[in-house]
Amino acid sequence: MQEVANSTADSKDNFASQVMGQLKQDILTGYFKPGEKLRMARLKERYQVGISPLREALSQLLIEQLVIVENQRGFRVHPISKEEMLDIYETRAYIEALCINLAIERGDDEWEAGILAAAHKMRKFSTLLEKEPHEWERRHQAFHSAIAEGCQSPTLLHVRRSLYEKASRYRNLWLKKNMLDSQIFDANQKEHDSLIDALLNHDAGKARELIREHLLSPSRTLLTTEGFE
Amino acid sequence: MQEVANSTADSKDNFASQVMGQLKQDILTGYFKPGEKLRMARLKERYQVGISPLREALSQLLIEQLVIVENQRGFRVHPISKEEMLDIYETRAYIEALCINLAIERGDDEWEAGILAAAHKMRKFSTLLEKEPHEWERRHQAFHSAIAEGCQSPTLLHVRRSLYEKASRYRNLWLKKNMLDSQIFDANQKEHDSLIDALLNHDAGKARELIREHLLSPSRTLLTTEGFE
DNA sequence: AATTACAATAATGTCGACATTTTACTCTTT
DNA sequence: AAAGAGTAAAATGTCGACATTATTGTAATT
Protein backbone atom coordinates (compact mmCIF):
# COMPACT_ATOMS: atom_id res chain seq x y z
CA MET A 1 0.00 0.00 0.00
CA GLN A 2 1.51 3.26 -1.05
CA GLU A 3 1.50 6.29 1.14
CA VAL A 4 0.11 9.55 -0.11
CA ALA A 5 2.13 12.76 -0.31
CA ASN A 6 1.03 15.31 2.27
CA SER A 7 1.76 18.32 0.09
CA THR A 8 -1.49 20.23 0.56
CA ALA A 9 -1.54 19.71 4.32
CA ASP A 10 -2.51 22.79 6.25
CA SER A 11 -0.23 22.73 9.22
CA LYS A 12 -2.67 24.93 11.11
CA ASP A 13 -5.39 22.31 10.96
CA ASN A 14 -5.46 19.18 13.03
CA PHE A 15 -4.90 15.72 11.64
CA ALA A 16 -8.58 15.04 11.24
CA SER A 17 -9.06 18.00 8.88
CA GLN A 18 -6.07 17.06 6.81
CA VAL A 19 -7.12 13.44 6.54
CA MET A 20 -10.66 14.55 5.74
CA GLY A 21 -9.45 16.45 2.69
CA GLN A 22 -7.21 13.67 1.47
CA LEU A 23 -9.82 11.02 2.02
CA LYS A 24 -12.40 13.11 0.23
CA GLN A 25 -10.09 13.43 -2.74
CA ASP A 26 -9.42 9.71 -2.74
CA ILE A 27 -13.13 9.01 -2.82
CA LEU A 28 -13.95 11.67 -5.40
CA THR A 29 -11.17 10.60 -7.71
CA GLY A 30 -12.15 6.99 -7.39
CA TYR A 31 -9.05 5.69 -5.58
CA PHE A 32 -11.49 4.16 -3.16
CA LYS A 33 -14.24 2.59 -5.21
CA PRO A 34 -17.96 3.05 -4.53
CA GLY A 35 -19.18 0.57 -1.95
CA GLU A 36 -15.63 -0.38 -0.98
CA LYS A 37 -14.95 -1.21 2.62
CA LEU A 38 -12.69 1.25 4.41
CA ARG A 39 -10.68 -0.84 6.85
CA MET A 40 -9.02 1.13 9.61
CA ALA A 41 -5.70 -0.70 9.32
CA ARG A 42 -5.46 0.24 5.67
CA LEU A 43 -6.40 3.88 6.21
CA LYS A 44 -3.96 4.10 9.10
CA GLU A 45 -1.19 2.92 6.83
CA ARG A 46 -2.11 5.20 3.96
CA TYR A 47 -2.51 8.44 5.86
CA GLN A 48 -0.04 7.72 8.66
CA VAL A 49 -2.28 8.73 11.53
CA GLY A 50 -3.98 6.99 14.44
CA ILE A 51 -7.54 5.77 14.66
CA SER A 52 -9.03 8.84 16.34
CA PRO A 53 -8.37 11.37 13.56
CA LEU A 54 -9.52 8.79 11.04
CA ARG A 55 -12.84 8.32 12.74
CA GLU A 56 -13.29 12.07 12.92
CA ALA A 57 -12.56 12.47 9.23
CA LEU A 58 -14.96 9.67 8.35
CA SER A 59 -17.63 11.21 10.57
CA GLN A 60 -17.42 14.42 8.61
CA LEU A 61 -17.74 12.66 5.29
CA LEU A 62 -20.69 10.81 6.74
CA ILE A 63 -22.74 14.01 6.86
CA GLU A 64 -21.74 14.86 3.31
CA GLN A 65 -22.94 11.40 2.35
CA LEU A 66 -19.64 10.38 0.82
CA VAL A 67 -19.30 7.43 3.19
CA ILE A 68 -21.83 5.30 5.01
CA VAL A 69 -21.52 3.50 8.33
CA GLU A 70 -23.03 0.27 9.58
CA ASN A 71 -22.85 -0.10 13.32
CA GLN A 72 -20.06 -2.42 14.39
CA ARG A 73 -19.26 -3.09 10.77
CA GLY A 74 -17.19 -0.02 10.01
CA PHE A 75 -17.30 2.43 7.14
CA ARG A 76 -17.83 1.99 3.41
CA VAL A 77 -17.63 4.38 0.49
CA HIS A 78 -21.12 5.58 -0.37
CA PRO A 79 -22.35 3.38 -3.22
CA ILE A 80 -23.29 4.96 -6.51
CA SER A 81 -26.42 4.40 -8.51
CA LYS A 82 -27.93 5.64 -11.72
CA GLU A 83 -30.85 7.08 -9.75
CA GLU A 84 -28.66 9.02 -7.37
CA MET A 85 -26.55 10.40 -10.16
CA LEU A 86 -29.56 11.70 -12.06
CA ASP A 87 -30.99 13.17 -8.89
CA ILE A 88 -27.76 14.94 -7.98
CA TYR A 89 -27.25 16.37 -11.44
CA GLU A 90 -30.86 17.46 -11.68
CA THR A 91 -30.75 19.19 -8.30
CA ARG A 92 -27.42 20.71 -9.15
CA ALA A 93 -28.85 22.15 -12.36
CA TYR A 94 -31.66 23.81 -10.41
CA ILE A 95 -29.30 25.23 -7.79
CA GLU A 96 -26.88 26.50 -10.40
CA ALA A 97 -29.71 28.14 -12.31
CA LEU A 98 -30.83 29.78 -9.09
CA CYS A 99 -27.33 31.10 -8.42
CA ILE A 100 -27.10 32.53 -11.91
CA ASN A 101 -30.49 34.14 -11.67
CA LEU A 102 -29.53 35.92 -8.48
CA ALA A 103 -26.08 36.75 -9.81
CA ILE A 104 -27.56 38.54 -12.80
CA GLU A 105 -29.81 40.49 -10.44
CA ARG A 106 -27.10 41.37 -7.97
CA GLY A 107 -23.86 41.14 -9.92
CA ASP A 108 -21.79 44.26 -10.41
CA ASP A 109 -18.87 45.19 -12.68
CA GLU A 110 -16.43 43.28 -10.51
CA TRP A 111 -18.53 40.18 -10.99
CA GLU A 112 -18.46 40.51 -14.77
CA ALA A 113 -14.72 41.15 -14.72
CA GLY A 114 -14.16 38.08 -12.57
CA ILE A 115 -16.03 35.91 -15.07
CA LEU A 116 -13.98 37.15 -18.01
CA ALA A 117 -10.75 36.65 -16.07
CA ALA A 118 -11.65 33.09 -15.12
CA ALA A 119 -12.77 32.34 -18.68
CA HIS A 120 -9.46 33.58 -19.99
CA LYS A 121 -7.47 31.36 -17.65
CA MET A 122 -9.61 28.43 -18.68
CA ARG A 123 -9.18 29.02 -22.42
CA LYS A 124 -5.44 29.46 -22.09
CA PHE A 125 -5.26 26.01 -20.61
CA SER A 126 -7.51 24.24 -23.10
CA THR A 127 -4.55 22.99 -25.14
CA LEU A 128 -3.14 21.27 -22.07
CA LEU A 129 -6.38 19.45 -21.35
CA GLU A 130 -4.96 16.03 -22.07
CA LYS A 131 -1.66 16.65 -20.32
CA GLU A 132 -2.98 18.01 -17.04
CA PRO A 133 -6.68 17.24 -16.77
CA HIS A 134 -6.62 17.97 -13.06
CA GLU A 135 -5.53 21.58 -13.50
CA TRP A 136 -7.99 22.08 -16.32
CA GLU A 137 -10.77 20.77 -14.13
CA ARG A 138 -9.70 23.26 -11.46
CA ARG A 139 -9.95 26.17 -13.89
CA HIS A 140 -13.23 24.98 -15.27
CA GLN A 141 -14.62 24.86 -11.77
CA ALA A 142 -13.16 28.30 -10.99
CA PHE A 143 -14.96 29.68 -14.04
CA HIS A 144 -18.32 28.40 -12.96
CA SER A 145 -17.68 29.47 -9.37
CA ALA A 146 -16.89 33.00 -10.53
CA ILE A 147 -20.32 33.11 -12.13
CA ALA A 148 -22.17 31.64 -9.18
CA GLU A 149 -20.45 33.82 -6.59
CA GLY A 150 -22.32 36.77 -8.01
CA CYS A 151 -25.36 35.60 -6.05
CA GLN A 152 -23.52 36.79 -2.94
CA SER A 153 -25.19 34.24 -0.69
CA PRO A 154 -22.75 32.18 1.43
CA THR A 155 -25.47 29.71 2.33
CA LEU A 156 -26.50 29.08 -1.25
CA LEU A 157 -22.88 28.80 -2.35
CA HIS A 158 -22.26 26.27 0.40
CA VAL A 159 -25.09 24.14 -0.92
CA ARG A 160 -23.75 24.54 -4.43
CA ARG A 161 -20.27 23.40 -3.42
CA SER A 162 -21.59 20.36 -1.62
CA LEU A 163 -23.54 19.27 -4.69
CA TYR A 164 -20.56 19.92 -6.92
CA GLU A 165 -18.43 17.60 -4.85
CA LYS A 166 -20.98 14.85 -4.89
CA ALA A 167 -21.34 15.18 -8.63
CA SER A 168 -17.60 15.10 -9.19
CA ARG A 169 -17.47 11.50 -8.03
CA TYR A 170 -19.63 10.58 -10.96
CA ARG A 171 -17.82 12.94 -13.28
CA ASN A 172 -14.44 11.51 -12.36
CA LEU A 173 -15.58 8.00 -13.11
CA TRP A 174 -16.74 9.35 -16.42
CA LEU A 175 -13.80 11.59 -17.30
CA LYS A 176 -11.38 8.69 -17.40
CA LYS A 177 -13.24 7.33 -20.38
CA ASN A 178 -14.33 10.48 -22.17
CA MET A 179 -11.49 12.85 -21.43
CA LEU A 180 -10.06 12.62 -24.89
CA ASP A 181 -13.31 13.06 -26.75
CA SER A 182 -12.47 16.42 -28.32
CA GLN A 183 -15.82 16.75 -30.01
CA ILE A 184 -17.60 16.83 -26.71
CA PHE A 185 -14.98 19.18 -25.39
CA ASP A 186 -15.37 21.68 -28.25
CA ALA A 187 -19.12 21.74 -27.74
CA ASN A 188 -18.40 22.47 -24.11
CA GLN A 189 -16.30 25.47 -24.99
CA LYS A 190 -18.99 26.86 -27.24
CA GLU A 191 -21.51 26.51 -24.43
CA HIS A 192 -19.23 28.54 -22.19
CA ASP A 193 -19.07 31.35 -24.74
CA SER A 194 -22.83 31.43 -25.16
CA LEU A 195 -23.25 31.47 -21.42
CA ILE A 196 -20.93 34.45 -21.02
CA ASP A 197 -22.87 36.32 -23.69
CA ALA A 198 -26.15 35.70 -21.92
CA LEU A 199 -24.70 36.78 -18.59
CA LEU A 200 -23.23 40.03 -19.84
CA ASN A 201 -26.53 40.80 -21.57
CA HIS A 202 -28.37 40.12 -18.33
CA ASP A 203 -30.52 37.60 -20.14
CA ALA A 204 -31.51 35.47 -17.16
CA GLY A 205 -33.88 33.20 -19.04
CA LYS A 206 -31.31 32.32 -21.67
CA ALA A 207 -28.58 31.83 -19.07
CA ARG A 208 -30.77 29.46 -17.06
CA GLU A 209 -31.54 27.43 -20.14
CA LEU A 210 -27.86 27.24 -21.14
CA ILE A 211 -26.55 26.24 -17.74
CA ARG A 212 -29.16 23.53 -17.44
CA GLU A 213 -28.11 22.04 -20.74
CA HIS A 214 -24.43 22.44 -19.87
CA LEU A 215 -24.78 20.59 -16.59
CA LEU A 216 -27.15 17.88 -17.67
CA SER A 217 -25.49 16.75 -20.88
CA PRO A 218 -22.65 14.96 -19.06
CA SER A 219 -25.14 13.03 -16.97
CA ARG A 220 -26.90 11.88 -20.12
CA THR A 221 -23.62 10.77 -21.66
CA LEU A 222 -22.75 9.05 -18.43
CA LEU A 223 -25.97 7.09 -18.59
CA THR A 224 -24.91 5.37 -21.78
CA THR A 225 -21.56 4.39 -20.26
CA GLU A 226 -21.01 0.90 -18.96
CA GLY A 227 -20.43 0.15 -15.32
CA PHE A 228 -23.74 1.09 -13.83
CA GLU A 229 -26.51 -0.95 -12.24
CA MET B 1 -24.68 20.25 35.49
CA GLN B 2 -27.73 18.15 34.81
CA GLU B 3 -27.65 15.06 32.71
CA VAL B 4 -29.95 14.67 29.78
CA ALA B 5 -32.45 11.85 29.42
CA ASN B 6 -31.45 9.37 26.76
CA SER B 7 -35.01 8.53 25.74
CA THR B 8 -34.69 8.90 21.98
CA ALA B 9 -31.45 6.95 21.81
CA ASP B 10 -31.31 4.50 18.98
CA SER B 11 -29.61 1.52 20.51
CA LYS B 12 -28.57 0.37 17.06
CA ASP B 13 -26.43 3.44 16.50
CA ASN B 14 -23.09 4.04 18.11
CA PHE B 15 -22.50 6.59 20.84
CA ALA B 16 -21.29 9.20 18.39
CA SER B 17 -24.58 9.18 16.46
CA GLN B 18 -26.65 9.40 19.61
CA VAL B 19 -24.58 12.23 21.02
CA MET B 20 -24.70 13.98 17.64
CA GLY B 21 -28.49 14.08 17.76
CA GLN B 22 -28.64 15.25 21.36
CA LEU B 23 -25.97 17.85 20.88
CA LYS B 24 -27.70 19.12 17.77
CA GLN B 25 -30.92 19.51 19.71
CA ASP B 26 -29.12 21.31 22.51
CA ILE B 27 -27.66 23.77 20.03
CA LEU B 28 -30.86 24.24 18.04
CA THR B 29 -32.97 24.79 21.14
CA GLY B 30 -30.46 27.21 22.54
CA TYR B 31 -29.31 25.19 25.57
CA PHE B 32 -25.82 25.89 24.32
CA LYS B 33 -25.73 29.54 23.33
CA PRO B 34 -24.27 30.85 20.08
CA GLY B 35 -20.54 31.35 20.35
CA GLU B 36 -20.38 29.42 23.62
CA LYS B 37 -17.33 27.32 24.25
CA LEU B 38 -17.96 23.60 24.32
CA ARG B 39 -15.56 22.23 26.90
CA MET B 40 -14.96 18.52 26.71
CA ALA B 41 -15.23 17.98 30.46
CA ARG B 42 -18.69 19.53 30.49
CA LEU B 43 -19.91 17.59 27.45
CA LYS B 44 -18.55 14.37 28.93
CA GLU B 45 -20.53 14.97 32.07
CA ARG B 46 -23.74 15.91 30.27
CA TYR B 47 -23.87 13.07 27.77
CA GLN B 48 -22.04 10.46 29.84
CA VAL B 49 -19.65 9.31 27.15
CA GLY B 50 -15.90 9.44 26.57
CA ILE B 51 -13.96 11.90 24.50
CA SER B 52 -13.83 9.90 21.28
CA PRO B 53 -17.57 9.79 20.55
CA LEU B 54 -17.80 13.45 21.50
CA ARG B 55 -15.17 14.47 19.00
CA GLU B 56 -16.91 12.41 16.34
CA ALA B 57 -20.25 14.05 17.06
CA LEU B 58 -18.69 17.51 16.99
CA SER B 59 -16.95 16.69 13.72
CA GLN B 60 -20.28 15.90 12.14
CA LEU B 61 -21.85 19.15 13.31
CA LEU B 62 -18.79 20.91 11.96
CA ILE B 63 -19.79 20.09 8.40
CA GLU B 64 -23.33 21.25 9.03
CA GLN B 65 -21.84 24.48 10.33
CA LEU B 66 -23.51 24.24 13.71
CA VAL B 67 -20.17 24.30 15.53
CA ILE B 68 -16.81 25.78 14.65
CA VAL B 69 -13.35 24.62 15.63
CA GLU B 70 -10.15 26.52 16.28
CA ASN B 71 -7.09 24.37 16.24
CA GLN B 72 -5.83 23.58 19.70
CA ARG B 73 -8.57 25.74 21.15
CA GLY B 74 -11.46 23.33 21.00
CA PHE B 75 -15.00 23.72 19.71
CA ARG B 76 -17.53 26.53 19.96
CA VAL B 77 -21.17 26.83 18.99
CA HIS B 78 -21.40 28.55 15.61
CA PRO B 79 -22.07 32.22 16.31
CA ILE B 80 -25.20 33.86 14.97
CA SER B 81 -25.50 37.09 13.07
CA LYS B 82 -28.21 39.15 11.48
CA GLU B 83 -26.54 38.70 8.10
CA GLU B 84 -26.39 34.91 8.36
CA MET B 85 -29.98 34.69 9.48
CA LEU B 86 -31.23 36.72 6.53
CA ASP B 87 -29.09 34.69 4.15
CA ILE B 88 -30.32 31.37 5.50
CA TYR B 89 -33.97 32.39 5.39
CA GLU B 90 -33.60 33.83 1.92
CA THR B 91 -31.92 30.70 0.60
CA ARG B 92 -34.46 28.55 2.36
CA ALA B 93 -37.28 30.44 0.69
CA TYR B 94 -35.77 29.80 -2.72
CA ILE B 95 -35.23 26.11 -2.02
CA GLU B 96 -38.70 25.66 -0.61
CA ALA B 97 -40.19 27.39 -3.63
CA LEU B 98 -38.21 25.07 -5.86
CA CYS B 99 -39.47 22.01 -4.00
CA ILE B 100 -43.04 23.20 -4.31
CA ASN B 101 -42.65 23.94 -7.98
CA LEU B 102 -41.41 20.43 -8.65
CA ALA B 103 -43.98 18.92 -6.33
CA ILE B 104 -46.82 20.51 -8.26
CA GLU B 105 -45.33 19.12 -11.47
CA ARG B 106 -44.71 15.65 -10.14
CA GLY B 107 -47.12 15.23 -7.27
CA ASP B 108 -49.86 12.61 -7.51
CA ASP B 109 -53.03 11.89 -5.55
CA GLU B 110 -51.08 10.38 -2.70
CA TRP B 111 -49.11 13.58 -2.39
CA GLU B 112 -52.28 15.67 -2.14
CA ALA B 113 -53.75 13.26 0.38
CA GLY B 114 -50.59 13.44 2.50
CA ILE B 115 -50.81 17.22 2.62
CA LEU B 116 -54.41 17.20 3.76
CA ALA B 117 -53.65 14.57 6.39
CA ALA B 118 -50.73 16.55 7.79
CA ALA B 119 -52.75 19.75 7.72
CA HIS B 120 -55.49 18.06 9.69
CA LYS B 121 -53.09 16.86 12.36
CA MET B 122 -51.67 20.34 12.61
CA ARG B 123 -55.05 22.05 12.94
CA LYS B 124 -56.21 19.59 15.58
CA PHE B 125 -53.26 20.60 17.68
CA SER B 126 -53.57 24.37 17.27
CA THR B 127 -55.43 24.74 20.57
CA LEU B 128 -52.54 23.11 22.40
CA LEU B 129 -49.99 25.45 20.91
CA GLU B 130 -49.17 27.13 24.20
CA LYS B 131 -49.17 23.93 26.22
CA GLU B 132 -46.91 21.84 23.99
CA PRO B 133 -45.11 24.11 21.56
CA HIS B 134 -42.60 21.40 20.77
CA GLU B 135 -45.21 18.98 19.45
CA TRP B 136 -46.91 21.73 17.51
CA GLU B 137 -43.62 22.63 15.93
CA ARG B 138 -43.21 18.98 14.94
CA ARG B 139 -46.59 18.89 13.21
CA HIS B 140 -46.00 22.20 11.51
CA GLN B 141 -42.74 20.87 10.15
CA ALA B 142 -44.44 17.62 9.10
CA PHE B 143 -47.00 19.62 7.16
CA HIS B 144 -44.40 21.52 5.19
CA SER B 145 -42.37 18.37 4.66
CA ALA B 146 -45.42 16.60 3.26
CA ILE B 147 -45.65 19.35 0.66
CA ALA B 148 -41.98 19.39 -0.21
CA GLU B 149 -41.65 15.62 -0.44
CA GLY B 150 -43.75 15.77 -3.58
CA CYS B 151 -40.65 16.88 -5.45
CA GLN B 152 -39.42 13.31 -5.07
CA SER B 153 -35.77 14.31 -5.04
CA PRO B 154 -33.77 12.90 -2.10
CA THR B 155 -30.88 15.25 -2.81
CA LEU B 156 -33.03 18.36 -2.86
CA LEU B 157 -34.86 17.24 0.27
CA HIS B 158 -31.54 16.70 2.01
CA VAL B 159 -30.56 20.27 1.22
CA ARG B 160 -33.93 21.46 2.42
CA ARG B 161 -33.62 19.64 5.73
CA SER B 162 -30.17 21.02 6.37
CA LEU B 163 -31.39 24.57 5.83
CA TYR B 164 -34.42 23.95 7.99
CA GLU B 165 -32.21 22.90 10.87
CA LYS B 166 -29.97 25.89 10.57
CA ALA B 167 -32.98 28.19 10.46
CA SER B 168 -34.54 26.56 13.51
CA ARG B 169 -31.74 27.86 15.68
CA TYR B 170 -32.85 31.36 14.88
CA ARG B 171 -36.50 30.47 15.11
CA ASN B 172 -36.07 28.92 18.54
CA LEU B 173 -34.41 32.01 19.87
CA TRP B 174 -37.37 33.91 18.50
CA LEU B 175 -40.20 31.58 19.49
CA LYS B 176 -39.51 32.02 23.18
CA LYS B 177 -40.53 35.63 22.85
CA ASN B 178 -43.29 35.48 20.26
CA MET B 179 -44.87 32.13 20.96
CA LEU B 180 -47.92 33.60 22.60
CA ASP B 181 -48.65 36.20 19.99
CA SER B 182 -51.93 34.75 18.76
CA GLN B 183 -52.43 37.39 16.12
CA ILE B 184 -49.31 36.28 14.31
CA PHE B 185 -50.34 32.69 14.77
CA ASP B 186 -53.78 33.19 13.24
CA ALA B 187 -52.25 34.86 10.23
CA ASN B 188 -49.99 31.84 9.94
CA GLN B 189 -52.95 29.49 9.85
CA LYS B 190 -54.60 31.51 7.10
CA GLU B 191 -51.41 31.35 5.08
CA HIS B 192 -51.46 27.58 5.36
CA ASP B 193 -55.01 27.41 4.05
CA SER B 194 -54.20 29.65 1.09
CA LEU B 195 -51.16 27.56 0.35
CA ILE B 196 -53.17 24.34 0.30
CA ASP B 197 -55.64 25.94 -2.08
CA ALA B 198 -52.91 26.97 -4.46
CA LEU B 199 -51.31 23.52 -4.33
CA LEU B 200 -54.52 21.62 -5.04
CA ASN B 201 -55.24 24.00 -7.91
CA HIS B 202 -51.76 23.40 -9.27
CA ASP B 203 -51.15 27.13 -9.23
CA ALA B 204 -47.36 27.09 -9.02
CA GLY B 205 -46.89 30.83 -9.28
CA LYS B 206 -49.29 31.57 -6.45
CA ALA B 207 -47.83 28.80 -4.29
CA ARG B 208 -44.29 30.11 -4.76
CA GLU B 209 -45.38 33.59 -3.79
CA LEU B 210 -47.21 32.33 -0.69
CA ILE B 211 -44.41 30.13 0.57
CA ARG B 212 -41.93 32.94 0.16
CA GLU B 213 -44.05 35.24 2.27
CA HIS B 214 -44.72 32.49 4.81
CA LEU B 215 -41.04 31.75 5.31
CA LEU B 216 -39.69 35.27 5.23
CA SER B 217 -42.15 37.00 7.55
CA PRO B 218 -40.63 35.39 10.69
CA SER B 219 -37.19 36.59 9.70
CA ARG B 220 -38.49 40.14 9.34
CA THR B 221 -40.14 39.98 12.76
CA LEU B 222 -36.97 38.52 14.16
CA LEU B 223 -35.02 41.48 12.87
CA THR B 224 -36.94 43.87 15.10
CA THR B 225 -36.28 41.70 18.16
CA GLU B 226 -33.55 42.63 20.58
CA GLY B 227 -30.48 40.54 21.09
CA PHE B 228 -28.81 40.91 17.73
CA GLU B 229 -25.67 42.73 16.63
C1' DA C 1 0.80 51.92 38.26
C1' DA C 2 1.29 49.59 34.00
C1' DT C 3 3.49 46.23 31.28
C1' DT C 4 6.09 42.28 30.37
C1' DA C 5 8.00 37.79 31.57
C1' DC C 6 7.33 33.62 33.79
C1' DA C 7 5.10 29.86 36.05
C1' DA C 8 1.07 27.03 37.11
C1' DT C 9 -3.17 25.41 35.66
C1' DA C 10 -6.31 23.71 32.43
C1' DA C 11 -7.83 22.04 28.09
C1' DT C 12 -6.98 19.98 23.73
C1' DG C 13 -5.28 16.40 20.22
C1' DT C 14 -3.40 11.99 19.57
C1' DC C 15 -2.20 7.32 20.46
C1' DG C 16 -2.25 2.55 22.15
C1' DA C 17 -4.93 -0.90 24.63
C1' DC C 18 -9.07 -3.50 25.91
C1' DA C 19 -13.62 -5.39 25.42
C1' DT C 20 -17.21 -6.53 22.14
C1' DT C 21 -18.95 -7.80 17.85
C1' DT C 22 -18.50 -9.55 13.31
C1' DT C 23 -16.43 -12.52 9.88
C1' DA C 24 -13.96 -16.61 8.26
C1' DC C 25 -12.72 -21.22 8.75
C1' DT C 26 -12.92 -25.98 10.13
C1' DC C 27 -14.95 -29.97 11.64
C1' DT C 28 -18.81 -32.71 12.32
C1' DT C 29 -23.25 -34.58 10.99
C1' DT C 30 -26.89 -35.89 7.80
C1' DA D 1 -21.23 -33.54 -0.84
C1' DA D 2 -23.86 -29.97 1.52
C1' DA D 3 -25.34 -27.67 5.59
C1' DG D 4 -24.78 -26.18 10.19
C1' DA D 5 -22.49 -25.45 14.54
C1' DG D 6 -18.57 -24.20 16.94
C1' DT D 7 -14.18 -22.01 17.18
C1' DA D 8 -10.49 -18.92 15.83
C1' DA D 9 -9.20 -14.65 13.77
C1' DA D 10 -9.93 -9.96 12.68
C1' DA D 11 -12.04 -5.57 12.94
C1' DT D 12 -14.66 -2.20 15.31
C1' DG D 13 -16.04 1.11 19.19
C1' DT D 14 -14.76 3.07 23.42
C1' DC D 15 -11.90 4.59 27.09
C1' DG D 16 -7.99 6.34 29.80
C1' DA D 17 -3.39 8.27 29.61
C1' DC D 18 0.26 11.20 27.78
C1' DA D 19 2.34 14.99 25.38
C1' DT D 20 1.48 19.49 23.46
C1' DT D 21 -0.59 23.84 23.43
C1' DA D 22 -3.33 27.66 25.28
C1' DT D 23 -4.90 30.38 29.24
C1' DT D 24 -4.75 32.39 33.62
C1' DG D 25 -2.51 34.38 37.50
C1' DT D 26 1.56 36.24 39.76
C1' DA D 27 5.68 38.62 40.36
C1' DA D 28 9.25 41.52 38.93
C1' DT D 29 10.90 45.51 36.41
C1' DT D 30 10.59 50.04 34.29
* Predicted local distance difference test score (pLDDT) of residue A7: 40
Q: What does the alpha-carbon distance between residue A188 and residue A193 come to, in Å, rounded to a whole number?
A: 9
CA atom of B7 to C1′ atom of D18, Å: 35
Q: What does the alpha-carbon distance between residue A168 and residue A148 come to, in Å, rounded to a whole number?
A: 17
Q: Where in chain A is the domain with CATH 1.10.10.10?
A: 15-77
The CATH code belonging to domain A82-224 is 1.20.120.530
- Which nt has its C1' nearest the CA of B38? C11
* Predicted local distance difference test score (pLDDT) of residue B11: 43
Which nucleotides in chain C have some atom under 7 angstroms from a protein Cβ?
11-17, 21-23
CA atom of B84 to C1′ atom of D24, Å: 33
Which nucleotides in chain D have some atom under 7 angstroms from a protein Cβ?
11-17, 21-23
Mean pLDDT, each 10-residue run in order, chain B (229 residues): 42 78 91 92 90 91 92 90 93 97 93 95 84 84 96 97 92 66 74 94 94 87 62
B69 bridge partner residues: B75
The CATH code belonging to domain B15-77 is 1.10.10.10
First to last CA, chain A: 29
Q: What is the rounded average pLDDT for all residues in chain A?
A: 86
Q: What does the alpha-carbon distance between residue B26 and residue B34 come to, in Å, rounded to a whole number?
A: 11
**Closest in B62, B153, B155 to A60, CB measured:** B62
Mean pLDDT of A79-84: 91
pLDDT in tens, B61-74: 998 999 999 888 88
- In degrees and rounded to multiples of 5, residue A75 shows phi and psi of -105, 150
Q: Where in chain A is the domain with CATH 1.20.120.530?
A: 82-224
Q: Does A11 have pLDDT greater than 50?
A: no
If you average pLDDT over each of A64-73, A170-179, A180-189, A191-200, which comes out highest? A191-200
